[in-house]
């Protein structure tokens, strides 16, 4: 049996990534079959519960307030809106609802209490509940776990070195600290990254090495292909070739044999055959939904039709890990305040797009009738 290895080296991961493609896929498929049912895919529906207006400067993200992008911003969705979306997702085969908020970090306020209610609402529908809300303290993670949260999504996104070229408003160590807090609260970890931002193969493999060295390894690893959105500093990045996606998926599968490898953003640029090739290479999950958070995603009925055609069934909730217990009686240490870092480096491209957005907003204000 191919066992989990926590002692990978960068060289050994790069060697795997750079194998001839068919050898790589064959190896990944063999590992996949030892640990997973190859004809089963887990489906997570994404729901943006608070959209846009984020204070961070992630160069890839259309939700960063400082860039001028064409997205509809939204305050927190209501409990009823989330319940309806979750029920629909469940009916259409999703075992998990993943709720995203465009926050830098969670604040101990009424909005967070509302998110806890959203978590309880979805938990009561017997679905796995996931949130991605930015950085969380140990106590906030515990509150989410006690509300019934099953997974927390918090991506490393790239290597520590390349991260500095993409985000200047927080540090890599903040991301790792949040993952530690999630683990302490006994939730499952969903953490992966984006390819196609201009990073090198070494950066991709370094990110996988960092994830694979977490003990235990993350239960889910989303692999996103950059969706280059107009108005963001990465708007001109070319879309990644399917071969790179296959290599990344296959390498992730080999390096983290038990994890759920999720084919995430970028599926609208992939053919159906390309996606099936990724399933062959070890992808065992997709993000579904009319949109991802703000950008387009394939239609769920097309996904389901493809599954039927190739004999894939969908995974049921809690097949991999037991349903978490809620705890309504715990008391929390309210003095637990984290100071997240503010690195002092400046990313020129991000500054340029911030200035461009300012100009565009000023132009719009000028052209408005008084
Ligand atoms: N604000 C929280 C955070 O940053 O962790 C949660 C939401 S954030 C949008 C979740 C993830 O979406 C990011 O870590 C990134 O991996 C992914 N993402 C955002 N914009 C993307 C894009 N344009 N293309 C691909 N992935 C993207
Ligand atoms: C993840 O790794 N990808 C999802 C989810 N986790 C939250 C988000 C993708 C967002 C793509 C850009 C957008 O739609 O705004
Ligand atoms: Fe904010 Fe998350 Fe987007 Fe970064 S990725 S700008 S933290 S919503």
Domain of 170: which CATH number? 3.20.20.70
Q: Whose CA is nearest to atom 23 of ligand 1?
A: 227
How far from 148 is each of 96, 116, 285, 326, 353, CA to CA, in Å? 13, 9, 22, 5, 40
Domain for residue 45, yes or no? yes
Q: State the closest ligand 1 atom to the C-alpha of 63, by its place in the atom list counted from 1.
A: 9
Domain for residue 311, yes or no? yes
Question: What is the extent of the structural domain holding 177?
Answer: 10-317+343-359
Q: What is the pTM of this model?
A: 0.97
Domain for residue 365, yes or no? no
pLDDT tens per residue across span 172-212:
999 999 999 999 999 999 999 999 999 999 999 999 999 99
Domain for residue 244, yes or no? yes
Phi, psi of 60 (to 5 degrees): -90, -10
Task: Give the Å distance between the CA of 215 and the centre of ligand 1.
Answer: 24
pLDDT tens per residue across span 45-76:
999 999 999 999 999 999 999 999 999 999 99
Please tell me if the CB atom of residue 61 comes closer than 6 angstroms to any atom of ligand 1.
yes
Using 50, 70 and 90 to split pLDDT, how confident is the model at 3?
Answer: confident
Task: State the total domains in the chain.
Answer: 1
Domain for residue 333, yes or no? no
Q: How much is the pLDDT for 370? A: 64
Asked if residue 142 lies in contact with residue 330, where contact means CB atoms within 8 angstroms, the answer is: yes
Domain for residue 335, yes or no? no
pLDDT tens per residue across span 249-280:
999 999 999 999 999 999 999 999 999 999 99
Distance CA 33, CA 15 (A): 22
Domain for residue 364, yes or no? no
Q: Whose CA is nearest to atom 2 of ligand 2?
A: 222
Distance CA 13, CA 189 (A): 22
Hey, which residues are catalytic here?
54, 58, 61, 98, 130, 190, 262
């Amino acid at each position: 049996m191919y066992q989990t290895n926590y002692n990978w080296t960068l060289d050994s991961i790069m060697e795997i990534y750079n194998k001839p493609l068919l050898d790589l896929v064959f190896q990944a498929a063999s590992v996949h079959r030892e640990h997973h049912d190859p004809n089963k895919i887990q489906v997570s529906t994404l729901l943006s519960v608070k959209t846009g207006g984020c204070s961070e400067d992630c160069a890839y993200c259309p939700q960063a307030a400082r860039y001028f992008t064409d997205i509809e911003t939204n305050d927190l969705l209501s409990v009823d809106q989330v319940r309806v979306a979750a029920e629909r997702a469940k009916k259409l085969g999703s075992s998990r609802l993943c709720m995203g908020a465009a926050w830098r970090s969670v604040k101990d306020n009424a909005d967070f209490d509302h998110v806890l209610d959203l978590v309880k609402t979805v938990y009561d529908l017997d679905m796995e509940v996931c949130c991605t809300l930015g950085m969380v303290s140990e106590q906030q993670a515990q509150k989410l776990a006690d509300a019934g949260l099953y997974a927390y999504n918090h991506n490393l996104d790239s290597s520590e070195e390349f991260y500095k070229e993409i985000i200047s408003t927080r540090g890599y160590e903040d991301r790792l600290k949040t993952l530690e807090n999630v683990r302490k609260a006994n939730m499952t970890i969903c953490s992966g990254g984006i390819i196609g931002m201009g990073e090198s193969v070494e950066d991709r493999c370094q990110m996988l090495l960092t994830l694979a060295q977490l003990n235990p390894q993350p239960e889910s690893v989303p692999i996103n292909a950059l969706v280059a959105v107009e108005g963001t500093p990465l708007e001109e990045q070319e879309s990644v070739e399917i071969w790179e996606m296959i290599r990344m998926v296959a390498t992730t599968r080999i390096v983290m044999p038990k994890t759920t490898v999720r084919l995430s953003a970028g599926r609208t640029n992939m053919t159906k055959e390309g996606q099936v090739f990724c399933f062959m290479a070890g992808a065992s999950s997709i993000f579904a939904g009319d949109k991802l958070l703000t950008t387009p995603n394939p239609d769920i009925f097309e996904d389901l039709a493809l599954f039927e055609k190739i004999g894939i069934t969908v995974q049921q909730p809690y097949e991999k890990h037991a349903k978490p217990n809620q705890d309504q009686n715990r008391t929390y240490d309210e003095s637990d305040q984290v100071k997240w870092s503010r690195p002092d480096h400046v990313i020129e491209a991000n500054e340029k797009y911030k200035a461009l957005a300012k100009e565009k907003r000023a132009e719009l204000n000028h052209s408005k009738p008084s």
